[in-house]
Amino acid sequence: MNKAMHLVLKALSDPETKLDLQKSRRIMNLKILDPFKPFYRTLDTKIYNEGREVPVRIYFPNEESYDTVDIEAFQEKNKSLDTGKMSDNIYPVILYIHGGGFVTESVESYNRVCWNLAKNTAHVVVSIDYPLAPEHRFPTQIEDCYAAAKAVFGDRTILNAEPDQITLMGDSAGGNIVAAVCQMARDRGEFIPKRQILIYPCVNNDYSEENAYPSVLENGRDYLLTRQNMADYLDFYQSCEADRQNPYFAPLLAEDFSNLPRALVITGELDPLRDEGEDYARRMKAAGVDVTLHRIADGIHGFFLLEPVYSAVRETYDYINAFLKS
């Protein structure tokens, strides 16, 4: 990274200040003001988990895929507790779980990301609007995302998709939830994901200076996401201190990494979470999981949220599409 860009990022970073949750949410929610939103081909629906409504948004890669849906019938079903169904879907599916440190972001703020993902992979994308911390704490997010995945894989109440054609994918905190959902699916045996894509995942439980990975200390001051941010996110997320030792809270703590879905793990060179994501990939691979790992040069945390015109995003899409086709 050139010195000028580094200086800009450093000026925008505040490594010593604790996270201002409301300010952070206001900044992230600016992305909701998307002038291209009227042009996206989407449908909104929901699933239910223990009486909680979990909204999801479906993104279509093109007009042809959107035209496979009986829109009026879908919308009529969606007025009731029954979830709408796309009986004629012939496209593979990406079940996407957004990032945001468990406390910010939403389906609305990730509209552009999921629309780009659908277009650039020729997949139907299902984005889960899980509840945020601290209003809702661990394990609510994982249980709701697990319920949504179970519906997509087993009941086909959202999409009529073959289980082998469904990929779980998430970035940052969403990568944490994807990793946890994959472990949970293996442990419970209710459905079997075949593929997972983790984009700079948060999979650790400790961001103190004494216990953090080297990349947290090297990159946790000058590149927007700080070590202090990560510590604050986990404080908001946990229900109690004991959660920190739960492998569904921190997937790196799992005792068994075998029999997980084949994985693509993408990390960024200048991301504080680089080392833990790469360690998670290595542990899965050592347990016999088919893992592909790529580190994006000069990549900072959050780069995947940029437009595909940026080289780091284009490179990531090349890796994603190669993985999905293999």
Which residues are known to be catalytic?
172, 271, 301
Paired residues of 126 in beta bridges: 58, 95
Contact 195, 289 (CB under 8 A): no
